[in-house]
Amino acid sequence: MNVSLLSPERAAALGEAPLVSFRHVGKQFRQRFGRSVTALEDVSFDVRRGEIFGIIGRSGAGKSTLIRLVNGLEKPTAGHVIVDGVDVGAQGNAGLTALRRRVGMVFQGFNLLASATVEDNVALPLRLTGVRLSEARRRAREVLELVGLADKARNYPSRLSGGQKQRTGIARALVQQPDLLLSDEATSALDPETTAGILALLKDINDTLGLTILLITHEMDVIRRVADRVAVLEAGRIVEIGSVWQVFSAPRHATTRALLTPSDGAAPPLPRLEAGQALFAITQPAAAPPLELAALAAALGPGGRLLAGPVQAGRNATRLLLAAADADVPATLARLRAVAPTAEVLADAG
């Protein structure tokens, strides 16, 4: 399936404009007796096209409210939420419907229809736009293939495991070929192993379809595994924002440090990156041939460091974190890939 993010003309016209832009957004909920509760205050950030942007915070920090502002399930009481040039808060019903058809959403509780089969759940967004049932089902099965659930198309959700339910939810969110995927604690109801599978799927969708993903979570591990950039939300305000590497290696705010403190079984915080260094990761499947250390060292060049590893990365893979002093990141990456095809750049401090 080929899903393109934008037509080339449109991408050129929009330039490097962010896909989602929060501009001094505030949200107050009115309560009885004239009292009100502030859920968000002066929140500003951008989500760039093609990235996975994570928002982390404790429960009650305002994460759910924030993500619901993006597709207009909530309206801001101050500021503007701009999605692909559209001011969400200013939209009427028709505008919101049009916007929501370009923004997929997955939920912690899956929110699948118990009365419909997996394929009919996935076909539902298409049915809402008037696509014929047979055509909608055909396209639903294509997307189910993509999320690895083709064999469950005719099952009812009650027969699925949690991970399979969430795959169905993701397929449903993808079937309209959205520009943006919102993930509302998508893995919080799943066990660690299933979580790893769902996160790998999100990462894969981001890589292969170029789909921008905005996710909220209270789990640092989710951010660490998939996000490119992260914002830390505390009591309705963003207290820290940056690349995952920056924020994790040098947390400035107490909340971030608290969230980073490893609980039992969680991976340790990432080591600090020095100026001029670039960070690379190699994900080594269990079945892959062993890596040759000398070749790795040569690829990294002088000043190459092994920062951490092997770190468990999912059920059947381990991860190595390497730093290189070399400023020419693409060249180093190319040399690394010759040794280990899974090599990727995690951060570039230079």
Which chain residues interact with other proteins by CB under 8 A?
Answer: 71, 73, 93, 96-101, 103, 105, 107, 109, 111, 113-116, 124-125, 127-129, 156-158, 172, 176, 182
C-beta of 185 vs 221, nearer to other proteins: 185
**Distance of closest approach, residue 171 Cβ to other proteins, in angstroms:** 13
**Distance of closest approach, residue 89 Cβ to other proteins, in angstroms:** 16
C-beta of 183 vs 277, nearer to other proteins: 183
According to DSSP, the β-strands at 180-184 and 212-217 are parallel
| Both structure tokens of 305 | 């460091």
C-beta of 160 vs 333, nearer to other proteins: 160
Unique residue bearing structure tokens 């230079």: 350
**Distance of closest approach, residue 16 Cβ to other proteins, in angstroms:** 27
C-beta of 71 vs 277, nearer to other proteins: 71
C-beta of 71 vs 283, nearer to other proteins: 71
Rounded CA gap, 174 and 168, in Å? 10
Rounded CA gap, 157 and 165, in Å? 6
C-beta of 62 vs 104, nearer to other proteins: 104
**Distance of closest approach, residue 101 Cβ to other proteins, in angstroms:** 4
**Distance of closest approach, residue 125 Cβ to other proteins, in angstroms:** 4
Question: What does the buried/exposed string (b/e) look like for 57-67 if buried means 16 or more CB atoms within 10 Å of the residue's CB?
Answer: beeebbbbbbb
**Distance of closest approach, residue 246 Cβ to other proteins, in angstroms:** 32
C-beta of 157 vs 314, nearer to other proteins: 157
Other C-beta atoms lying within 10 Å of the C-beta of residue 313: 20
C-beta of 133 vs 338, nearer to other proteins: 133
According to DSSP, the β-strands at 78-83 and 86-87 are antiparallel
**Distance of closest approach, residue 100 Cβ to other proteins, in angstroms:** 4
C-beta of 167 vs 319, nearer to other proteins: 167
- Is residue 236 within 8 A of residue 247, CB to CB? The reply is no
| Both structure tokens of 347 | 């951060």
Strand order in the sheet with 317-324: 305-312, 317-324, 278-285, 344-348
CA triple 104-110-112, angle to 5 deg:
90
C-beta of 19 vs 175, nearer to other proteins: 175
**Distance of closest approach, residue 121 Cβ to other proteins, in angstroms:** 10
**Distance of closest approach, residue 115 Cβ to other proteins, in angstroms:** 4
**Distance of closest approach, residue 350 Cβ to other proteins, in angstroms:** 41
- Is residue 273 within 8 A of residue 349, CB to CB? The reply is yes
